[in-house]
Chain A
Amino acid sequence: MTTYRMQIAFQYAFERPAGSGRQLFRILPATIPGRQSVLDAAIRIDPDPVETREFVDFFGTRVIELVMPPGITELELILEADVRRVAHEIGLDISTPLARLAAEIAGHRGLDAASPHHFLVPTPRIPRIPAIAGFARKATAGAETAREALEKLGLALHAHMRFDAKATDVNTPPAEAFELRRGVCQDFAQIMLAGLRSLNIPAAYVGGYLRTLPPPGQPRLVGADASHAWVRAWCGADAGWIDYDPTNACFALGDHIDIGFGRDYDDVAPVTGMMRLDGAQTGTHSVDIEEAPVQTQSGPLSWTPLALAFAPKSRAAQTDDPLHEPG
C-alpha cells in the first residue's frame, strides 16, 4: 500500500478576454474499493468560478463542472489530493480462452458501467482500422487466453512504436499514429484498443496518473509524474477487467492512479469545454506526485466533498499542449 500526495495544476492564459464558459474537469482520482481510495482532495480555482457543481458520469467518473465568469484572461486550477493505492499481483491466468470469449460476452446481461458490451463498438475516435487489426492478429497468434492475447499485443505494440511527445497531438487518429509508429500514451492506448476490439476483446480507455521511482539500476518509466492513459480489457467472466499499459509494456498493478475509464479519450478527457474550443490561448499542465508519509488514518473515505478554497499558487513544469496526454 502506498499513499501518494499529488498536485495537478492547469494554467491558461487568453490573448483576449474569453466569453463565459462551461468546463468539465475529469481529474479527480477514482475510488475503487480494495484498490484505490482518496484520503483528501481540495481544489483551488482562480478566478472565482460563477458556478461549481459535481456529478458522477455514466462510467462512474467524478466530474467537476465549472462556469467561469465572462471576460477572464487567465485561469488556474490546482488539485491537491492524497491517494492511497494498494498494489496487487497479476496472479494466475484464469482468463477465458479466446474461443469461448464471445459466448461469455453474449451471456453477459446488463449495461452497467462495467459491462463489456460498451467496449466492442467502434467510436468516432477509434474506428475499425484494418492495418491495426492485421497487426493484432499477427501479434496474438498462438495466444490461448484473453490475458495472453492482451499481453502479447501490448508487448508487440511497445516494440513496434516509439515514444515521441512531438509526433502527435490530442486529435491524431490512431491509424495515423500507427502509421508513424510514434506517439504518446494516448496513441499507444488508442491503437491497442483498436487492436483488442478487432479481436473481439472488450477494451476500455483508462485515464489516470503515473508516478514511479526507478528501481536501482533500472531506467525510469516513461511518463512518470504525468497524466497517463492505458487500456483495460475484459478477459472473461472470472478474470474480469485487467489493466495493461502499452506505453510501458506492463500490467498496471499498483503504480497507476485511476481517474476513470470510457470508450475513448472523449469519455475521460481531463478538460472539456470552452478552453478546448478557443484557439487563441496558451496553457500549461503539470502533474507532481510524491510518496506521502505513512498515514494512520483509515476507514471509508470514499466520497470527499470538494473543498473550494483559494491559496497561493505554485508553478510547475510546462508542456506545449496542456491537453495532450504527455504519458
Chain B
Amino acid sequence: MEPAGSDARPAEPRRAALGIDTYAPLPGVPDEMLGPDGRIRPIWQPLLEHLERQPPDMLARSLARANQYLRDSGVFYRQYGSGTSIERPWPLSHVPVLMAEADWNQISAGLIQRAELLEAVMADLYGPNQLVAGGHLPPALVASNPQWLRPMVGVRPRMGHYLHFIAFEIGRGPHGKWWVLSDRTQAPSGAGYALENRVATSRAFADLFSLQNVHRLAGFFRDFRDRLMAARDDHDARIAILTPGPWNETYFEQAWIARYLGFMLVQGDDLVVENGRLMVRTVSGLRPIDLLWRRMDGDYVDPLELNPASRIGTPGMVSALRSGGLNMLNALGSGVLEARAMMAFLPKLAPILTGQSLAMPNIATWWLGAQAEHQAIMAAPERMALSRALDTGLPFDSDPAPILAASLDPAELQRRLTEQGPDLVAQETVSLSTTPALIEGRIVPRPLSLRVFLARTADGWQVMPGGFARIGATDDPTALAMQRGGAAADVWIVSDNEVPAITMAPSRGGPYRRSAPSTLPSRAADNLFWMGRYVERTEQITRILRARHIREAESGRGAEPLQAALDKLLKTYGLEPGAPIPKGLIDTLSAAVASAGQVRDRFSTDGWSALSDLEKTARQMAGRVAPGDDAARALSAILRKIAGFSGLVHENMYRFYGWRFLTLGRLHERALGTTGIVAALAQPDAPHGALDLCVELGDSVLTHRQRFAISTSRETVIDLLVLDPMNPRSVRHQIDQMMAQVSELPGGVEQGEYSALGRAVLRCQTEVATETPESLDGEALDALGTRIADLSTLLTEAYLR
C-alpha cells in the first residue's frame, strides 16, 4: 500500500535530521510515543511518516500555517507579572499528543467517577455537612477555606446539581499510571483554547488529520449547550457567560466560547437583580437571564453578601440564587473543592460516597493539621514538597513555589509543622511523562500535563475527547509551567474505527424557524457607539494632519496662515500640532481599540485584526516619520487602513442593534467634525486656500469639481459639506442617516410618536434642511454643532445606562 507517486520509503537522512532514530525517553520517565518496551506505539506511526515525508521547507510552511491561524483569530492570553500585564501570542507546540481510544476510555471512566465524587462532597458541604459530623473531613479545613461560601449553605441549586463544567489536570507518573494533579471545579478555563489548538494543529497536519480517526470536539460542546438550552424555564430566557472583563487573563477564551455557543457575554455591571430574578441591562430595557455560566471566582460574584472588595460583581446575586430565580453553573462556592488539602481526603471519601475506591488516584497528599501527619513527614521527608493547604492549581505551578521537606533541616521542618501545620500540605513530588515536541526542527521529549474537561449533559457527565496539553519548556519532567515559557498542544484521541463527523447544529424536528436576534447589553452598545466615534475621529484628525503636512511640503512658508488655521483646528481635538503623528492621534486610536476590546464577542476576528493592526502601524510610524512629505505619505497609509477597517465592518456586520450603535457613533462624530471644520475654515475672514482645504478635509474634492464648474466659494462649500443630502460626507446626510437609525432603535417610534432622542434628531434634521448657505453664518454653525453634540447625551441617557 504505497501512496501513488511518492516514494514510500523516506530518505534516511530526513529521519535522522528529525531526530526520530535518536529519540529516547529520559531515564525512568515514561513517554507517550514510546511504549514501555521502547518501541514506537502504532498510533504514532502515521504522524512520524508524515513528518519524514515532508521536506524541511514544506514542514516549516505547514507549521507557519498553524501559527498564522492563531494570529489571525487573535488567540492570545494575558500574562501578569511585576505590576504590568501584556497580551502574549499563543505558544503552540505543533506535534499533537496522540492517545489510543481504549486508553482514553479508561481515563474518562476514572474522571467521571471523580466528578461524581466531587458533586457528592459539594452537596454535603453545602447541605447536611455529614462528612464533617462523621469525622471524615476535618472541620477546621472546611471552616478556614475562603471558598467555602457560608451564604450558600442550604441553598439548593435549581438544576439539581452543583457541578456542570469542570476540569482535571492529570499527568502520567513513573510507573506509567495516570494521576490527578489538581481539581478544577470553580470556573475552569482552557476548553476554548483546546478548540483553537485543534483548528491550528489540523491546519498544520491537514492530510494526516483527515486520514486518522481522530475524535471530534464539537459534539462535546453541542451536547453541553443543548442541555443548558433545555434547562431554561422559558424559551425567551437567555443564557449568559459571566466574565470578569477584558483584563482577565482568559478573557479572549470567554469571548470566543460565547461566540461559539451563541451565548451572551456579560460583566457584573451589566446585570441587576430585580424581584429575585437576574436581569441584564440592554438597549431594550431589562431582560431576564435564566442561566448564568460563571467564569469568575465565586466570592467575587456578589459584593453585598460575599467579598465586599469585589468591584466586578452584582449586588443581589446571592439573593437571586436564594430565591430560586437563577440557575448558576457551577454553583457558587464550588471553589471549595479545589483546595490542595482536599486531595488528602478524597481517596478516603470515595468508598463512602460512591461505594468504590478511586479508579484514578490523585497525587499523594497529606494535610498537616494533625500530629500523626507531622510524625510521618518528619520520619520520611524525602520526595515531599510542602505548599499551602488552601492553594489551588498545579502543585508545581504555585506561588510561592513548594519547598522540598528534605531541603529543610529537621529542626526547621519541625518548627514549620508546629507553627503552620494546618496551613500546609505535603505532596509527593510530581514527575511527568514526556511527549514529542518539534524544537528547532528536531523531535525531542518534553514533559506533559493534560487538562481534561467534563461537562454534564442530558446523559450525565461527558468527557471532552481531547484536551489541553501543556508542554514543558525544558526536558526537566518535574518543572513545567505555561507562565514560565511552556507551550500548549492539541490532544488527538485516535480510534481504530471511523469516527462520525459532528457539527454544532442541533438536531431539530419540524420546519426551520429563524430565531430572533438577541438584544444588546447596554455596555456593549456603549462600547460600539464609542468605537464608532473614536474611529471616525481618528480619520478626521488624520485628514487634518495630512493636509497640514502636504502644505508644508508643497508651499513651505507660503502656507503659514493656513497652517495656523489648521493648528487651531487641531487644538479643538486636544492635539499638539508639532509632531507628524502626535500622541493625541495614537490616544484616540487606542481608545477605539479599547472600546473594541470590550466587545470582542460581537465582531469578527478580521475586524479586530484590522483595527489592532491599524494601531500598531500608527505607533510604529509615530517615532519614525519626518514632517512634510514623509508624514503626509504615512498619514495616507493610515487613512487607507481606516477605510479598510470601516469597509470590513460595514460589509460584514449583522444589521441589528450592535451595528446601529456603531453606525450612530460614526455618523454623530462625522456630523460634529464636519460642522467644526466648516465653522473654522469657511469664514469670510479665512486665509486664502481655506475653502479648498475645507473641501479636502471633507473628502469631497471630486464631488465639488463635478457639481460646480467654478472654483470654491463660501456658498458652494457650505452647500456641499453641510446642506447637500446627496453628498455622503455632508452634515445633512449624517443627520438623515441618524434619523433612520434612531427610528429603528427600541422605543424609537411608537404609534407614530418619536422618543426624546428621535425628536431631537428630527429638530436637527429640520434645521439643516431649512438653512441656506447665506443663513449659515459662523454663529449658526456653532449653534448647530452644540445641537449635534447634545444628541450624544440624549442617546446615552436613553440606551447606554
Q: Point out residues on A near B: beta carbons under 8 Å.
A: 21-22, 24, 51, 53, 55, 57-59, 65, 67, 105-106, 108-112, 115, 117-118, 120-121, 124, 266, 272-274
CB under 8 Å from chain A, chain B span 306-321: 308-309, 315-316, 319
**Which residue of the partner chain, among A22, A111, A118, A266, contacts B315 with CB atoms under 8 Å?**
A22
Q: Once the chains are docked, how many angstroms separate the CA of A124 from the CA of B308?
A: 10
CB nearest neighbor in A for B302: A22
A250 to chain B, nearest CB (A): 29
Residues of B within 8 A of A67 (CB): 274, 316
Given contacts A53-B319, A58-B151, A105-B140, 4 further A-B contacts (CB under 8 A): A67-B316, A109-B133, A110-B132, A272-B304
Across the interface, do B308 and A121 meet the contact criterion of CB distance under 8 Å? no
**Which residue of the partner chain, among B139, B144, B153, B309, contacts A109 with CB atoms under 8 Å?**
B139
CB nearest neighbor in B for A118: B143
CB nearest neighbor in B for A277: B303
Residues of B within 8 A of A51 (CB): 274-275
Q: B348 in the interface, Cβ–Cβ < 8 Å?
A: no
Across the interface, do A120 and B140 meet the contact criterion of CB distance under 8 Å? yes
Q: CB-defined interface of B758-769 with A at 8 Å, one 1/0 digit per residue? A: 000000000000
Residues of B within 8 A of A121 (CB): 143-144
Q: B135 in the interface, Cβ–Cβ < 8 Å?
A: yes
- Best-buried of A51, A111, A274 by chain B (most CB within 10 Å): A111
With contacts A109-B132, A117-B139, A121-B143 taken as known, whether A22 is within 8 angstroms of B304 at the C-beta atoms is yes
**Which residue of the partner chain, among A24, A111, A120, A273, contacts B142 with CB atoms under 8 Å?**
A111
Across the interface, do B140 and A24 meet the contact criterion of CB distance under 8 Å? no
B273 to chain A, nearest CB (A): 7
**Which residue of the partner chain, among A57, A105, A117, contacts B151 with CB atoms under 8 Å?**
A57
CB nearest neighbor in A for B143: A117
Across the interface, do A65 and B319 meet the contact criterion of CB distance under 8 Å? yes
* A/B interface sample: 17 pairs, CB < 8 A: A21-B315, A22-B273, A22-B316, A24-B304, A51-B274, A51-B275, A55-B322, A58-B151, A106-B140, A106-B370, A109-B139, A117-B139, A117-B140, A120-B144, A121-B143, A121-B144, A124-B309
Across the interface, do A273 and B315 meet the contact criterion of CB distance under 8 Å? yes
Across the interface, do A109 and B304 meet the contact criterion of CB distance under 8 Å? no
Residues of B within 8 A of A55 (CB): 319, 322
Across the interface, do A115 and B143 meet the contact criterion of CB distance under 8 Å? yes
- Best-buried of A22, A53, A106, A272 by chain B (most CB within 10 Å): A22
Q: Once the chains are docked, how many angstroms separate the CA of A115 from the CA of B141?
A: 13
Q: Point out residues on B near A: beta carbons under 8 Å.
A: 129, 132-135, 139-140, 142-144, 150-151, 153, 273-276, 304-305, 308-309, 315-316, 319, 322-323, 370
Q: Once the chains are docked, how many angstroms separate the CA of A105 from the CA of B370?
A: 13
Across the interface, do A110 and B129 meet the contact criterion of CB distance under 8 Å? yes
Across the interface, do A273 and B304 meet the contact criterion of CB distance under 8 Å? yes
CB nearest neighbor in A for B144: A121
Residues of A within 8 A of B276 (CB): 53
CB nearest neighbor in A for B148: A111
Across the interface, do A111 and B129 meet the contact criterion of CB distance under 8 Å? yes
Across the interface, do A110 and B322 meet the contact criterion of CB distance under 8 Å? no
Q: Once the chains are docked, how many angstroms separate the CA of A111 from the CA of B304?
A: 23
**Which residue of the partner chain, among A58, A105, A109, A115, contacts B135 with CB atoms under 8 Å?**
A109
**Which residue of the partner chain, among B129, B139, B275, B323, contacts A108 with CB atoms under 8 Å?**
B139
Across the interface, do B151 and A115 meet the contact criterion of CB distance under 8 Å? no
- Best-buried of B133, B139, B274 by chain A (most CB within 10 Å): B139
Residues of B within 8 A of A59 (CB): 150
Residues of A within 8 A of B134 (CB): 109
Across the interface, do B319 and A274 meet the contact criterion of CB distance under 8 Å? no
Q: Once the chains are docked, how many angstroms separate the CA of A118 from the CA of B132?
A: 13
Q: Once the chains are docked, how many angstroms separate the CA of A121 from the CA of B390?
A: 13
A248 to chain B, nearest CB (A): 29
Q: Once the chains are docked, how many angstroms separate the CA of A183 from the CA of B474?
A: 56
Across the interface, do A58 and B153 meet the contact criterion of CB distance under 8 Å? yes
Q: Once the chains are docked, how many angstroms separate the CA of A115 from the CA of B153?
A: 15
A258 to chain B, nearest CB (A): 19
Residues of A within 8 A of B132 (CB): 109-111
Q: Once the chains are docked, how many angstroms separate the CA of A57 from the CA of B139?
A: 20
Q: Once the chains are docked, how many angstroms separate the CA of A67 from the CA of B135?
A: 42
Q: Once the chains are docked, how many angstroms separate the CA of A22 from the CA of B133?
A: 36
Residues of B within 8 A of A117 (CB): 139-140, 142-144
Residues of B within 8 A of A57 (CB): 150-151
Q: Once the chains are docked, how many angstroms separate the CA of A182 from the CA of B132?
A: 41
CB nearest neighbor in B for A269: B308
Q: Once the chains are docked, how many angstroms separate the CA of A194 from the CA of B352?
A: 38
Residues of A within 8 A of B142 (CB): 111, 117
Residues of B within 8 A of A106 (CB): 140, 370
A234 to chain B, nearest CB (A): 13
Across the interface, do A111 and B143 meet the contact criterion of CB distance under 8 Å? yes
Residues of A within 8 A of B309 (CB): 124
Across the interface, do B139 and A110 meet the contact criterion of CB distance under 8 Å? yes
Across the interface, do A266 and B129 meet the contact criterion of CB distance under 8 Å? no
Q: Once the chains are docked, how many angstroms separate the CA of A121 from the CA of B146?
A: 10
Across the interface, do A24 and B305 meet the contact criterion of CB distance under 8 Å? yes
Residues of A within 8 A of B144 (CB): 117, 120-121
Q: Once the chains are docked, how many angstroms separate the CA of A67 from the CA of B320?
A: 13
CB nearest neighbor in A for B369: A106
Q: Once the chains are docked, how many angstroms separate the CA of A111 from the CA of B131?
A: 10
Q: Once the chains are docked, how many angstroms separate the CA of A57 from the CA of B276?
A: 17
CB nearest neighbor in A for B136: A109
Q: Once the chains are docked, how many angstroms separate the CA of A76 from the CA of B322?
A: 27
B146 to chain A, nearest CB (A): 9
Q: Once the chains are docked, how many angstroms separate the CA of A118 from the CA of B142?
A: 9
B235 to chain A, nearest CB (A): 27
Residues of B within 8 A of A273 (CB): 304, 315
A103 to chain B, nearest CB (A): 11
Q: Once the chains are docked, how many angstroms separate the CA of A115 from the CA of B144?
A: 12
Residues of B within 8 A of A105 (CB): 140
Residues of A within 8 A of B308 (CB): 266, 272
Residues of B within 8 A of A109 (CB): 132-135, 139
Residues of A within 8 A of B304 (CB): 22, 24, 272-273
Residues of B within 8 A of A110 (CB): 129, 132-133, 139
B578 to chain A, nearest CB (A): 40
A315 to chain B, nearest CB (A): 29
- Best-buried of B132, B134, B135, B140 by chain A (most CB within 10 Å): B140
Q: Once the chains are docked, how many angstroms separate the CA of A274 from the CA of B140?
A: 34
CB nearest neighbor in B for A122: B144
Q: Once the chains are docked, how many angstroms separate the CA of A266 from the CA of B139?
A: 22
B156 to chain A, nearest CB (A): 15
- Best-buried of B132, B275, B304 by chain A (most CB within 10 Å): B304
- Best-buried of A24, A109, A121, A124 by chain B (most CB within 10 Å): A109
Q: Once the chains are docked, how many angstroms separate the CA of A157 from the CA of B134?
A: 39
Q: Once the chains are docked, how many angstroms separate the CA of A57 from the CA of B318?
A: 11
Q: Once the chains are docked, how many angstroms separate the CA of A269 from the CA of B685?
A: 68
A68 to chain B, nearest CB (A): 12
Q: Once the chains are docked, how many angstroms separate the CA of A45 from the CA of B308?
A: 25
A292 to chain B, nearest CB (A): 34
Q: Once the chains are docked, how many angstroms separate the CA of A111 from the CA of B316?
A: 25
Q: Once the chains are docked, how many angstroms separate the CA of A106 from the CA of B134?
A: 13
Residues of A within 8 A of B315 (CB): 21-22, 273-274
CB nearest neighbor in B for A110: B133
Q: Once the chains are docked, how many angstroms separate the CA of A21 from the CA of B314?
A: 11
Q: Once the chains are docked, how many angstroms separate the CA of A51 from the CA of B305?
A: 17
B141 to chain A, nearest CB (A): 9
Residues of A within 8 A of B322 (CB): 55
CB nearest neighbor in B for A273: B304
A71 to chain B, nearest CB (A): 12
A16 to chain B, nearest CB (A): 14
B337 to chain A, nearest CB (A): 16
Q: Which 6 A-B pairs have the closest CB atoms?
A: A58-B150, A117-B143, A117-B139, A121-B144, A22-B315, A22-B316
CB nearest neighbor in B for A19: B801
Q: Once the chains are docked, how many angstroms separate the CA of A110 from the CA of B143?
A: 10
Residues of B within 8 A of A65 (CB): 319
Residues of B within 8 A of A21 (CB): 315
A270 to chain B, nearest CB (A): 14
